[in-house]
């Protein structure tokens, strides 16, 4: 990380953001230096201001002593927006083409939802596996930096709003309607596992995975960090495996990573 100036006097106002990043890293091991400064700083400053702090070092002091405030802040910062069958056009490709190819000959399919938030992506993939490759064993690991999201993911419970883009027939087949929303059926829950992990630091076994979904997660990273992460995700794939990214994202230099684009948001490992 960038060396930081002491957090007192004029230096403090000169770059209280850097001092805040350093303090937050010590407090909860989240390294904001890896994220694009512009939008992250704007988001943090407006959040701190709404909480009554114009100075980020003062706000850091609040986070250090008030756990509820820290939770609130992390909620805001990590932006956990997700939904079932998010970007339906991607799921059409995943279900119609990618999964059948990966499972040819009843091969087991091992997938990773990297930056899974509260699990909507992982359970959507589980339902698509049941629907499109019913004869194959499929396992899906979801990881996220936010432990509260991982706890939610393990429950497999979603709001009605989470299902707004979901195909009704599949929703009915693989989820139960419960009083306060919808619940993934046991057969999906048993396919999914969830773990807290920082994508920028976690160890990733090379050459083993069939499918990696990393959608709507790298948009906050600096370009260098994003490229390094895409390289590691590509390394995690077996030859013939697929990387799926968000609809508005791109892999900067796919061939360098041994990836061939097959759709604007899909890359196949050579």
Of 214, 247, 29, the residue nearest 116 (C-alpha)? 214
Q: Give 16 or 144: the residue with its C-beta nearer to ligand SAM.
A: 144
- The site that binds ligand SAM (CB under 6 A) totals a number of residues, namely 21
Q: Give 7 or 80: the residue with its C-beta nearer to ligand SAM.
A: 80
Among 144, 191, 211, 254, binds ligand SAM (CB under 6 A): 144
SS3 content of the chain, % helix, strand, coil (to 5): 50, 20, 30
Among 133, 149, 166, 257, binds ligand SAM (CB under 6 A): 149
- Pairing type for strands 192-196 and 209-214 reads unpaired
DSSP category for residue 108: -
Of 28, 60, 23, the residue nearest 45 (C-alpha)? 60
Q: Give 59 or 158: the residue with its C-beta nearer to ligand SAM.
A: 158
Q: Within its chain, how far is the Cα of 37 from the centroid?
A: 19
Q: Give 120 or 212: the residue with its C-beta nearer to ligand SAM.
A: 120
Among 7, 53, 82, 136, binds ligand SAM (CB under 6 A): 82
Binding string to ligand SAM for residues 206 to 245, with x set by CB under 6 A, is what?
---------xxx----------------------------
Burial of 96 (0-12, 13-18, 19+ CB in 10 A): exposed
Q: Is 115 in the site for ligand SAM (CB under 6 A)?
A: yes
Among 33, 79, 93, 228, binds ligand SAM (CB under 6 A): 79
Q: How far is the CB of 130 from ligand SAM (least distance, A)?
A: 20
**Torsion sign over Cα 28, 29, 33, 36:** negative
Q: Give 62 or 200: the residue with its C-beta nearer to ligand SAM.
A: 200
Q: How far apart are CA 196 and CA 132, in angstroms?
A: 29
| Structural contact between residues 236 and 206, judged by C-beta atoms closer than 8 angstroms | yes
Of 85, 92, 96, 95, the residue nearest 165 (C-alpha)? 85
Q: Give 189 or 204: the residue with its C-beta nearer to ligand SAM.
A: 204
| Part of the chain binding ligand SAM (CB under 6 A), chosen from 1-9, 126-134, 160-168, 197-205 | 197-205
| Part of the chain binding ligand SAM (CB under 6 A), chosen from 61-69, 112-120, 130-138, 234-242 | 112-120
37-50 and 67-78 helices cross at what angle (nearest 10)?
140
* Three-class secondary structure of residue 138 per DSSP: strand
Q: Give 70 or 200: the residue with its C-beta nearer to ligand SAM.
A: 200
Site for ligand SAM in 11-70 (CB under 6 A): none
Task: Point out which residues bind ligand SAM (CB under 6 A).
Answer: 78-82, 86, 115-117, 120-121, 144-146, 149, 198-200, 215-217
């Amino acid at each position: 990380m960038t060396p930081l100036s002491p957090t007192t006097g004029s230096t403090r106002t000169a770059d209280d953001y850097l001092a805040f990043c350093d303090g937050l890293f010590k407090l909860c091991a989240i390294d904001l230096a890896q994220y694009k400064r512009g939008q992250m700083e704007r988001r943090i400053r407006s959040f701190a201001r709404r909480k009554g702090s114009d100075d980020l070092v003062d706000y850091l002091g609040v986070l250090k002593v008030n756990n509820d405030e820290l939770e609130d802040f992390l909620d805001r910062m990590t932006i956990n927006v997700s939904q079932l069958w998010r970007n339906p056009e991607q799921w059409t490709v995943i279900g119609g083409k990618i999964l059948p190819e990966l499972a040819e000959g009843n091969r087991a399919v091992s997938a990773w939802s990297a930056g899974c938030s509260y699990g909507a992506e992982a359970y959507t993939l589980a339902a698509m596996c049941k629907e499109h490759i019913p004869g194959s064993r499929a396992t899906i690991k979801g990881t996220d930096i936010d432990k509260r999201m991982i706890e939610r993911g393990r429950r497999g419970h979603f709001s009605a709003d989470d299902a707004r883009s979901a195909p009704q027939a599949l929703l009915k087949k693989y989820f139960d309607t419960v009083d306060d929303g919808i619940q993934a059926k046991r057969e999906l829950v048993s396919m999914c596992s969830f773990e807290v992990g920082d994508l920028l630091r976690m160890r990733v076994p090379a050459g083993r995975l069939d499918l990696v979904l990393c959608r709507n997660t790298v948009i906050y990273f600096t370009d260098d960090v994003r490229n390094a992460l895409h390289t590691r995700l590509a390394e995690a794939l077996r030859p013939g495996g697929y990387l799926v990214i968000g609809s508005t994202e791109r892999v900067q230099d796919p061939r360098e990573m041994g990836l061939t684009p097959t759709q604007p948001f899909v890359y196949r490992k050579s």
